[in-house]
Amino acid sequence: LPPIPIRFDPATTALLTWFPWFLLAECALSYIVMARAHKKPIVVLSAEGITVDTTATHLGLIRWDEIEEVRSYTMIYRYVGIVPKNSSALWRRLGTGRSWMLQLNTFCIPLYKLLGIFVAPINIPQVYLPITVDELTARIRAYHEAYIRPVVPAYQSVPMAYDGSIWPPPPARGPSP
């Protein structure tokens, strides 16, 4: 059977031709407006943990005891990758609305491992950061080590040495006043 030609009037043809471009332009403009209006800090380090709030993922607080590994890596762009100890527990705590990207990344990790590529479930891209990925990775690791190590009694306490490479320095765990 020969194909049946479909003929549209000029108005329908124009709509079908230009509508996808208008939709694409609207999505790009919405993203630019959202990115400019995003006034919260991207990353906040505190005694409780790290708060991640990018324009794509609004994860909120990830506690230090929930973090397994922090590393910088490159996959087209530079990223700070955070690997949680238990991704499913973190999903449940954060809720579906905030953790859908975390779930998607966790699902893709085994596929990338087959190719020998590291991908973290939680990613902070370089394009959002005012400092380099390596600097942020060093700061996160310093805070993680300062807050995850066991607390020693005050009579055995030794102040943490600060070598000046990370600013602001993580707080030393010394005797409590």
What three-state secondary structure class fits 143? helix
| Residue whose C-alpha is closest to residue 81's, from 55, 96, 100, 62 | 62
Average pLDDT score over residue span 26-54: 79
| Residue whose C-alpha is closest to residue 87's, from 104, 111, 112 | 104
Any idea what DSSP says for residue 171? P
**123-161 tens-digit pLDDT:** 888 888 889 999 999 999 998 888 876 555 555 444 555
**53-98 tens-digit pLDDT:** 876 677 888 999 999 999 999 988 899 999 999 888 888 887 777 7
How much of the chain, in percent, has pLDDT values that exceed 70? 78
Which element (helix H / strand E) includes 10? helix 10-37
pTM for the model: 0.64
- Kindly state the tokens that stand for 93: 């705590």
